[in-house]
Structures are given as C-alpha cells and as structure tokens.
C-alpha cells in the first residue's frame, strides 16, 4: 500500500514538472477563457510568471492617452502580467481573446530610440527621466515617459520618431 502511494505521488510530481512553464495563473478567482489563453500562449510562448486578472479601470486607465485604433477597454476585458526577456510586461485582451495591446517597463533609458532621446534633450534639457513604458499595438509604438524637475512632473506620450503625441504637466 505504501508503495502505491509512493508511485502515485511520484507520478503527480513528474507530470507537474512536465507542464508548460507559461500556464495561466488565476490569483483572483477569475476564469480565463481558453481562447484567450491560447491567443496569449501563441503570441508570447516564452512568457513566465503569468498572472491573469480582469481589467479594472479604477486601477489602471489604459486608454488615458486615447491612442487611435486602440479598442476601448472595460471591465469585461482581461489584463495579463508576465515576465519575458527579463522585462515586466502587461498585455490586454478582450472577451473574445483578441489582443488589444501590450506595454512593458523600460529599465535602461539609453535604449530609447535616438529621435525620442533628441526630443527629451532639446525640449526638456533640465529634466530627469523618472519612468518609461513602451506601449505597442499592431503597428503602433509609443513611449509613455515621466520626467521630473524640482516639483514639476511631465507625463508624455512620444512616438518612435520623437513626436510628442500628448503631454500633461503637473506642478504643485
């Protein structure tokens, strides 16, 4: 009897070890549709540490920048947080499993396109970069950049060519 229990436990451990490293994790009690998981796995086969949640517009306002062509995101949609290539990613999918867009945190600001760096250097020379997110959907890429100088904070969306699409300045 002990031997059978041991074999059953060993089989469970072996099968668990053979599972794909990028299976969806449901930490909030939500049921992620299979179509969405399939679309995600096809798009990001090397993703790890995957966490699915429902999109909560009270926490993250994705379309704050009103990028043309981005589908409106609401509470029926999903966001998946994952790691890939040592970066933290976020991707949004609608209820049908259609990809809306992806963003990731840019940790090395020297990797920004030269046109983006030129815009920052010429228009905001005394500011320092606080954070950068690279946002993309289909053929569109933009950088959400937060810069600071003293008590002034500027949040902007800049395209690959260094054009400022949208900008907000916050001062005390």
φ, ψ of residue 11 in degrees (nearest 5): -65, -40
Prediction pTM value: 0.70
Domains of the chain, by residue range, sit at: 21-104, 109-170
Query: What's residue 100's pLDDT?
Result: 87
DSSP class of residue 21?
Answer: T
pLDDT at 34 over 50: yes
**Residue carrying structure tokens 């966490």:** 51
φ, ψ of residue 164 in degrees (nearest 5): -80, 115
Mean pLDDT over 94-99 rounds to 85
Q: What confidence tens digit (pLDDT) does each residue in 105-116 have?
A: 999 999 999 999
CATH number belonging to domain 109-170: 3.10.450.40
Query: What's residue 87's pLDDT?
Result: 87
Cβ burial, residue 14 (10 Å; 0-12/13-18/19+): exposed
* Cα 42 to Cα 115: distance, rounded to the nearest angstrom: 32
Query: What's residue 138's pLDDT?
Result: 77
Query: What's residue 74's pLDDT?
Result: 78
Element (H, E) at 38: helix 34-43
What Rg value do the Cα atoms of the chain yield, rounded?
A: 21
- The answer for 86, left when phi > 0, alpha when psi is -120 to 50, beta otherwise, is left
* Cα 42 to Cα 61: distance, rounded to the nearest angstrom: 26
């Amino acid at each position: 009897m002990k031997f059978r229990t041991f074999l059953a436990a060993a089989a469970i451990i072996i099968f668990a070890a053979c599972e794909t490293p990028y299976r969806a994790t449901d930490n909030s009690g939500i049921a992620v549709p299979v179509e969405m998981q399939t679309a995600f796995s096809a798009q990001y086969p090397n993703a790890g540490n995957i966490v699915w949640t429902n999109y909560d517009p009270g926490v993250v306002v994705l379309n704050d920048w009103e990028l043309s062509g981005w589908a409106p995101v609401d509470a029926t949609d999903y966001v998946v947080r994952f790691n890939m290539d040592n970066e933290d990613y976020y991707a949004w999918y609608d209820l049908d499993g259609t990809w809306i867009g992806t963003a990731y945190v840019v940790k090395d600001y020297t990797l920004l396109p030269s046109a983006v760096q030129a815009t920052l250097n010429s228009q905001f020379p005394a500011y320092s970069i606080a954070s950068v997110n690279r946002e993309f959907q289909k053929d569109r890429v933009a950088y959400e950049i937060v810069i600071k100088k003293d008590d002034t904070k500027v949040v902007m969306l800049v395209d690959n060519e260094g054009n400022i699409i949208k900008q907000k300045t916050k001062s005390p």
